[in-house]
Structures are given as structure tokens and as C-alpha cells.
């Protein structure tokens, strides 16, 4: 390849050699999936620089996630600064998709093409000042962006399938689960392939410690005490560190302890095998954590703390005792209120005793309603059918997009014609992707078979506050129980059960008919 003719703009020295920056982006080799090292890319780039008779400016790089729109890319930013300042005349990359992943990145450099900025690669040269090269680059960048988007969607679909099948989606071993020993360090001649699994005995010790901790939490033992006990017993985190209250809390709040796989807060599947915690203990813990707030542990004191909503502003209701006031049975009075420290309005409050009775009535009515249980099952079937339809529509739109891209790449259509034909497909896909995410977000927890009112009342009366909160959470599903503001006459406030109302979620499958 002959040395390109030097382009000179005002203020440049015609005798100065062409200065080219070398850009590397950590990525995977398409054929093998292995990491393509930046050092290897830089070495190939230096050969290109020597071949075209230029000199090396700076060697710049970015990481694996450099294609993401929201990720800051120091190497890319430095590249632009050097181009705009005239410190470099071009860049060398292994392939153009190492430099451009979004069309807007290309357009930034096209604006600089008037200065003679060039892009060299192991596969040839692209001159940003040349209309034909700009056209080809736009096609290449569009294909690179689509490749990134396609890969992202494939990964999301694969992970979604894994979750539905009860499989984990990767990552290091978790406390209480089998997997590779994260504390292992390779010896002479060893590689990561030699990393051993933790022993079954250690996993069982960890699982028993979790069960004991769950029982302790339900009897008001704090995280600090559990951390001290685990450290004293020689149980370390999966990474080999000592326990602190925050790491205990994070471990005990994982849905996988109950055999549940969650995604964005919704149940997406169940783990294979026996769960660490039995269903009843798991539901009690979940109800306990649902109402956590600063200070006192509301889940152990009041049924509706953190679950009831203010009808005036929508904030979660807190609860607290009323000093010097008592119920007829001698227990201290308490009230639910909208807390200002949670950015609530502070204008709604109501008696705990009366509201708890309304919660009991609601729970018994909802969980014993056969129509409600049937609606849940029917809605789940409807979701599955619609999800299949949406996936089919997405496949059709993506096939049309691939056809358009191929025609554009073969120059059988102009870029304007491509944009015009692709625009409605992009709009349709955005709508379909949103609907697919909504449908596959999981179904609400709770019973799918109605229970008798007698058994529910017996469970409620015999249960502790965490048990009642668990029943309340199951009955609510995605709905809300709202407390409206008092609008009665001034003076002594009389309880009005009409202030306690159900606010149904229109996306709740339990409401589908």
C-alpha cells in the first residue's frame, strides 16, 4: 500500500510526518468469543503506522463496555481532544467497529474530516473527507450498532430463559450455595481451570447458619449479633472476608434463600432443588423486610407499616405509639401516619387497631375468593399466549430490518430510503420490546387456589405480626391498600372504614377478566 498524499490545513507544516494515534478497545474475537487484548491490537496498529510512513502519537484504550451509551470513555474523549487541538492527524484501529459503536460518534468525527482526519485499520483506510468513504463508514457503523443491540437482546433473552428454567445467570459463588472457591489462590503452574469447588460440608454449614439467622431475625435479633456469631464460628463470606451487619443484611434479603429467582423485583422462576428456607419462614422474612425503615423495626411491631399507602401523596405509611393512650384491653394505642421524613405530606393518620381489623377482613376476603384465584390462573395463561404473539411480531420486524440492512450494504437503496423504511420498524420494535418486558416481568405472588375463610381466620389469629404481614402481602399482590385523609367534622375523630380503600393496579393479573 502506497503512502497516502499528505493533506495540509492552515498552520500545519507540510514536512511534518503524519501523526496517528492508536486506539484499542477491549473486546471479544467474534469467531471464538475470547478476549482480544488491547496490547495485541496496539501491536497490529503499529504495523499499519509503519506501513503508511506515519509516526505514533498516543496509544489510547477503552474497556469492554465502551459501546454502552451511558458509559464514560476516557480514551475516546482524549482522542477527540487531540484531534480538535491538531495534536494528531488520524487514528489506527484493528477494525472500525473498535472505534465506532454509535452513529453519533461517527458524525462527530465526520465534522472533523475537513481537517484531513483519517481512519486507518488493518482492513484498509477510510477518509472522512471523502463522500464515498463516509457512506461506507455509516453502513459499517450501523451494522456495528445493530450487532451490539442484537447481542444485548440475545443475552437478555438467554438470561430470561435461564431464570425461567431455574438456572443461575453466572457470577461468583454465593454464601450457602455450591460453586468455585473464591478464596483459592493458584500455586506454581496452576491456572484458573484448577480452581476447586467448595466442599459440600462447608455449604451445609453455611445453609444451617442462614436458617438459624432467619429464626433469630424473626425474634428481633439484630444483624450485628449474627455477624459476630458467624465470625466466631469461623464462617466467612464467600469471598473470604469477615462479616459485618450490612453483608449479613444483604445475604439474608436474597430471594434465592427461598428458592426464588427475581428480576427487577418480580418473580421470574424457581431454583432447582430444595430451598435453604422453608416457604413459611421465607414469606415471614419477606414481609419483615418489606416494611423496613429507619429506627425501630416496623415489620416486627405493626402489620401495615411500609405496606399501607397515603391516599393524599402516595407515600408509604409508618406507625408509632400514642403516648398516654390505651385500648380497652390495656394495650397502648398506636396510629399509622404519613411520615414527613420519607418525603410524605404528613397530613394523613389513622388508628392502628381499627385499620388492622380492616386488613384482616380484606385478607380473608381476597384469599378465600375463588374468582380471584381463577382470575390469577387465567391471567397467567393469557400472558403466556400474548408473549408468544409479541415475540413472533418482534422476529418479523427484525427480519425486515436485516433485509433492509443487506440492501443498503449492497447499495441497492439510498441511505434516505433506508431511514424512511426503517423508521416505522424502529417505532414498532420499541413498542413491542416494552410490551415484552412488561409481560415477562413475572406474575404476582400469592395463592392460586382459594382457601376457606375458617382456615384463614385461624391462621391470622394464631400468627405473629410477621405471619400476618406475609398474608397481607400475598393478598395485595400488585394492588395497594390506601388510607385517605380525614374530612369529617373537627373535634373527636371517629373511625370511618371508608377511608381504607383498595387501589387496584390495572396491570395486576389478578384483576384480569
Whether the per-residue pLDDT at 478 is higher than 80: the answer is: no
Determine the average pLDDT of the residues in 115-120.
Answer: 74
Lowest-pLDDT range of 266-280, 374-388, 461-475: 374-388
373 to 20, 62, 286, 393: CA distances (angstroms): 68, 53, 22, 31
pTM of model > 0.75: no
Whether the per-residue pLDDT at 317 is higher than 90: the answer is: yes
Instruction: List the grid coordinates of 181.
Output: 472457591
**What pLDDT does residue 363 have?**
92
Determine the average pLDDT of the residues in 370-384.
Answer: 62
The answer to whether the CB of 502 falls within 8 A of the CB of 362 is yes
Nearest to 5 by CA among 138, 134, 129, 135: 129
Mean pLDDT of the chain: 77
Predicted confidence (pLDDT) per residue in 219-243, tens digit: 878 888 999 999 999 999 988 999 9
DSSP readout, 385-430? Answer: HHHHHHHHHHHHHHHHHHHHHHHHHTTSS-HHHHHHHHHHHHHHHH
Overall fold of domain 200-290: Hect, E3 ligase catalytic domain fold (3.90.1750)
Q: Which is more confident, 360 or 9?
A: 360
Whether the per-residue pLDDT at 13 is higher than 70: the answer is: no
User: Same CATH fold, 200-290 and 19-150?
Assistant: no
pLDDT band at 282 (very low <50, low <70, confident <90, very high): confident
- Angle separating helix axes 465-476 and 279-290, nearest 10 degrees: 80
**What pLDDT does residue 299 have?**
41
Distance CA 218, CA 376 (A): 30
The answer to whether the CB of 6 falls within 8 A of the CB of 115 is no
Nearest to 267 by CA among 430, 376, 363: 376
Distance CA 367, CA 363 (A): 6
Distance CA 500, CA 366 (A): 15
Lowest-pLDDT range of 99-103, 209-213, 318-322: 99-103
Any idea what DSSP says for residue 197?
B
Residue carrying the nine cell digits 387497631: 353
**What pLDDT does residue 199 have?**
92
Whether the per-residue pLDDT at 444 is higher than 50: the answer is: no
Instruction: List the grid coordinates of 119.
Output: 481512519
**What pLDDT does residue 341 have?**
77
Instruction: List the grid coordinates of 351.
Output: 388508628
197 to 129, 193, 243, 341: CA distances (angstroms): 57, 11, 21, 47
**459 three-class SS:** helix
Nearest to 96 by CA among 128, 141, 159: 141
**136 three-class SS:** helix
Q: Are strands 19-25 and 90-93 parallel, antiparallel or unpaired?
A: parallel
**What pLDDT does residue 68 have?**
53
Distance CA 293, CA 442 (A): 26
Domain ranges of the chain: 19-150, 200-290, 299-368+451-511, 388-438
Distance CA 93, CA 23 (A): 5
- Contact partners, residue 325, CB within 8 Å, separation at least 6: 332, 333
Distance CA 99, CA 87 (A): 18
Determine the average pLDDT of the residues in 369-376.
Answer: 67
Determine the average pLDDT of the residues in 297-303.
Answer: 61
The answer to whether the CB of 310 falls within 8 A of the CB of 297 is no
Cα atoms in the Cβ-side hemisphere of radius 13 Å centred on 265: 4
Q: Which is more confident, 105 or 58?
A: 58
**What pLDDT does residue 297 have?**
43
For residue 354, the Cα-to-chain-centroid distance in whole angstroms is 39
The answer to whether the CB of 195 falls within 8 A of the CB of 180 is yes
Distance CA 192, CA 80 (A): 38
What CATH number has the domain spanning 19-150? 3.40.50.1390
**What pLDDT does residue 506 have?**
64
Amino acid at each position: 500500500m502506497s503512502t497516502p498524499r499528505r493533506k495540509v490545513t492552515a498552520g500545519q507544516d507540510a514536512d511534518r510526518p503524519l501523526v496517528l494515534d492508536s486506539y484499542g478497545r477491549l473486546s471479544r474475537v467474534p469467531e471464538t468469543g475470547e478476549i482480544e487484548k488491547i496490547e495485541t491490537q496496539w501491536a497490529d496498529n503499529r504495523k499499519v503506522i509503519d506501513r503508511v510512513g506515519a509516526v505514533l502519537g498516543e496509544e489510547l484504550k477503552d474497556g469492554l463496555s465502551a459501546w454502552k451509551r451511558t458509559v464514560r470513555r476516557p480514551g475516546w474523549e482524549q482522542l477527540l481532544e487531540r484531534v480538535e487541538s491538531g495534536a494528531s492527524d488520524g487514528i489506527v484501529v484493528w477494525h472500525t467497529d473498535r472505534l465506532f459503536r454509535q452513529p453519533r460518534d461517527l458524525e462527530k468525527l465526520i465534522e472533523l474530516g475537513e481537517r484531513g482526519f483519517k481512519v486507518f485499520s488493518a482492513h484498509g483506510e477510510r477518509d472522512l473527507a471523502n463522500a464515498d468513504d463516509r457512506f461506507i463508514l455509516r453502513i459499517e457503523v450501523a451494522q456495528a450498532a445493530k450487532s451490539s443491540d442484537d447481542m444485548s437482546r440475545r443475552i437478555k433473552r438467554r438470561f430470561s430463559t435461564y431464570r425461567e428454567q431455574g438456572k443461575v445467570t453466572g457470577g461468583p459463588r454465593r454464601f450457602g450455595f455450591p460453586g468455585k472457591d473464591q478464596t483459592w489462590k493458584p500455586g506454581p503452574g496452576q491456572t484458573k481451570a484448577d480452581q476447586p469447588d467448595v466442599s459440600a460440608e462447608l455449604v451445609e454449614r453455611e445453609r444451617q447458619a442462614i436458617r438459624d439467622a432467619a429464626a433469630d431475625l424473626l425474634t428481633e435479633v439484630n444483624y450485628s449479633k449474627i455477624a459476630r456469631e458467624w465470625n466466631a464460628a469461623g464462617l466467612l463470606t464467600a469471598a473470604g472476608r469477615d462479616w459485618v451487619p450490612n453483608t449479613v443484611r444483604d445475604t439474608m434479603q436474597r430471594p434465592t434463600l427461598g428458592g426464588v429467582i427475581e428480576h427487577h423485583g418480580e418473580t421470574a422462576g424457581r431454583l432447582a432443588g430444595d430451598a435453604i428456607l422453608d416457604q413459611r419462614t421465607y414469606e415471614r422474612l419477606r414481609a419483615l423486610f418489606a416494611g423496613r425503615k429507619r429506627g425501630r423495626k416496623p415489620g416486627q411491631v405493626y402489620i401495615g407499616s411500609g405496606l399501607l399507602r397515603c391516599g393524599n401523596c402516595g407515600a408509604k405509611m409508618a406507625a408509632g405509639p400514642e403516648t398516654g393512650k390505651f385500648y380497652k384491653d390495656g394495650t397502648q394505642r398506636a396510629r399509622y401516619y404519613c411520615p414527613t421524613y420519607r418525603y410524605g405530606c404528613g397530613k394523613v393518620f389513622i388508628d392502628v387497631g381499627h385499620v388492622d381489623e380492616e386488613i384482616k377482613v380484606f385478607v380473608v376476603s381476597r384469599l378465600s375468593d375463588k374468582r380471584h384465584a381463577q382470575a390469577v390462573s387465567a391471567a397467567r395463561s393469557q400472558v403466556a399466549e400474548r408473549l408468544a404473539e409479541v415475540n413472533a411480531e418482534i422476529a418479523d420486524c427484525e427480519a425486515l430490518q436485516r433485509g433492509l440492512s443487506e440492501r443498503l450494504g449492497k447499495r441497492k437503496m439510498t441511505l434516505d430510503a433506508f431511514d424512511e423504511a426503517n423508521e416505522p420498524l424502529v417505532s414498532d420494535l420499541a413498542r413491542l420490546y416494552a410490551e415484552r418486558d412488561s409481560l415477562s416481568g413475572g406474575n404476582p405472588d400469592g395463592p392460586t387456589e382459594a382457601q376457606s375463610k375458617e382456615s384463614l381466620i385461624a391462621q391470622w389469629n394464631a400468627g405473629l405480626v410477621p405471619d400476618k404481614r406475609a398474608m397481607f402481602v400475598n393478598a395485595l399482590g400488585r394492588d395497594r391498600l390506601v388510607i385517605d385523609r380525614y374530612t369529617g367534622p373537627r373535634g373527636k375523630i371517629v373511625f370511618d372504614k371508608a377511608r381504607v380503600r383498595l387501589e387496584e393496579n390495572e396491570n395486576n393479573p389478578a384483576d384480569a377478566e
